[in-house]
Amino acid sequence: MSEESGTRSETYAELAAVGPYGIHPGHALITMVEPHPGHEYAYNRWYEDDHYYAGAMAMPWMYAGRRWVATRDLQLLRYPEKSAIAQPVTAGCYLSTYWITDGRYDDHMKWTVAINKRLNRDARVYQDRTHVFTAFQDHEATVYRDGAAGPRDFHALDHPYAGLVVEVIHAESAEQRRELLAWLRARHLPKRVAGSPAAMVTVFRPTPLPGDRMTYVKQVEGVDTRLTLLWFLQADPRECWEGYFADLGAPVQEAGLGRVELVAPFVPTVPGTDKYVDRLR
């Protein structure tokens, strides 16, 4: 019946028997979106009630996800004021983060392009929103505060972290980015997370979006020069901002390895609710 109904179920057994199927988050989708004014509630309900599942978690190899939100007070903590990522820097009040199985990027991309075309045809894509920063990214490093004593990076989107800080760093060249990555991994991040509210920092580099992507998502910039850092916090970012995160750009600049283009704090959404939607503006 399944073959006759068009689901090709027999193919699933073949696909499951081959290829990588580890748990390492080899890739991520990081997408920061701004609903248009007046569409905040409708956008939140569409994303939570449909798109988070049909357009993300139901896909093969996308095995963990979490949504985050920046209320107006969190938006006002962002810097630098003139950001190459967000114009204005407060744009992008919702953030979604997803882990993709290592080695399954190409397989996942084939599915995600096809399913989003189908969702568009079926009028299941909410149009009154702007993609501020949307990119698939390859995992480069994870730095832990507590060594092996805490959750691993593959737990990060399921563990009940109280906050997240997104940091995007721009290097002047691909070579400088390699130096920046080595410095972050070996020197800067281990020192920065020690004794801090950040249990871990994951480091990713952006990859180009496919040519047949949806037209409302712009091509990724800085593929050869940017790094994206996700700081997973065990405290609300408002409670520890001044002591730990208000000056992330200074050490990078002093090291001469690039410049910080965005530092943005978020707290987790509460799935199935409209909590925080009335605090976005």
Task: Convert the pLDDT of each residue in 221-273 to its tens digit.
Answer: 889 999 999 999 999 999 999 989 999 999 999 999 999 999 999 999 999 99
Spatial CA neighbour of 112 closest among 146, 83, 132, 136: 136
Place of tokens 């499951």: 16
Cα distance between residue 56 and residue 164, in whole Å = 20
Distance between CA atoms of 217 and 37, rounded to whole angstroms?
19
Task: State the Rg of the chain over Cα.
Answer: 19
Q: Are 74 and 94 in contact (CB under 8 A)?
A: no
Over 60: is that where the pLDDT of 1 sits? no
Distance CA(136)–CA(100), nearest Å, equals 9
37 Cβ contact list (under 8 Å, min separation 6):
281
For strands 25-35 and 198-206, give the pairing: unpaired
pTM of the full structure: 0.94
* For residue 156, pLDDT beyond 80: yes
pLDDT of residue 215 exceeding 70: no
- Please tell me the predicted confidence (pLDDT) of residue 3: 47
Q: Given phi > 0 = left and psi -120 to 50 = alpha, else beta, which region is 166? A: beta
Residue 2 has pLDDT above 50, yes or no: no
H-helix or E-strand containing 4?
A: helix 2-5
